[in-house]
Amino acid sequence: MSIWIQRSLRLSPFPRGFHLVTGEVLGAIPEIADVGVGLLHVFIRHTSASLSLNENASPDVRRDMESWANEMAPEDARYWTHVLEGSDDMPAHVKASIFGNSLSIPVASGRPALGTWQGVYLGEHRDRAGARELVVTLFGNATNSA
């Protein structure tokens, strides 16, 4: 039997930087435990925040990701023309495009088939962002029919 589930997940505001949200994503879709083989898709409905998979243990990686992103898309660069919403706005759009707005994660035996050190990151690229909304979609075969 096929399973299709889709939910919206509202994340509380985070400070600028990269944040592990694996637990929040999985908490929104407990039915993942019933999927033998499938796919978990996570999409962020914003243009100034992003999603990525990366190191889930060391906070140094999250700090280094933020440092690198700030070097690649600096605030107050003279070439930005989209500046009405603040100096962090256009760099946030660039970072969101670089890192991406969605993830597709395989599901195996009722769990996301992530590597040992992989976790879902929210890249918050604004200084004073509000809550962020994710759309989480699960598709797969029920465990008893996989």
Q: How would you write the pLDDT of the chain (146 residues) with one tens digit per residue? A: 999 999 999 999 999 999 999 999 999 999 999 999 999 999 999 999 999 999 999 999 999 999 999 999 999 999 999 999 999 999 999 999 999 999 999 999 999 999 999 999 999 999 999 999 999 999 999 986 54
Residue 12 CA, chain-centre distance (Å), reads 13
pLDDT at 87: 95
pLDDT at 120: 98
**CB-based contacts of 8, cutoff 8 Å, min separation 6:** 133, 134, 135, 136
Per the DSSP assignment, residues forming a β-bridge with 50 are: 123
Q: Mind listing the domains of the chain with CATH numbers? A: 2-145 (2.60.120.460)
**CB-based contacts of 131, cutoff 8 Å, min separation 6:** 10, 11, 12, 13
- The answer to whether the CB of 121 falls within 8 A of the CB of 56 is no
As a whole number of Å, the CA-based R_g of the chain is 17
pLDDT at 143: 85
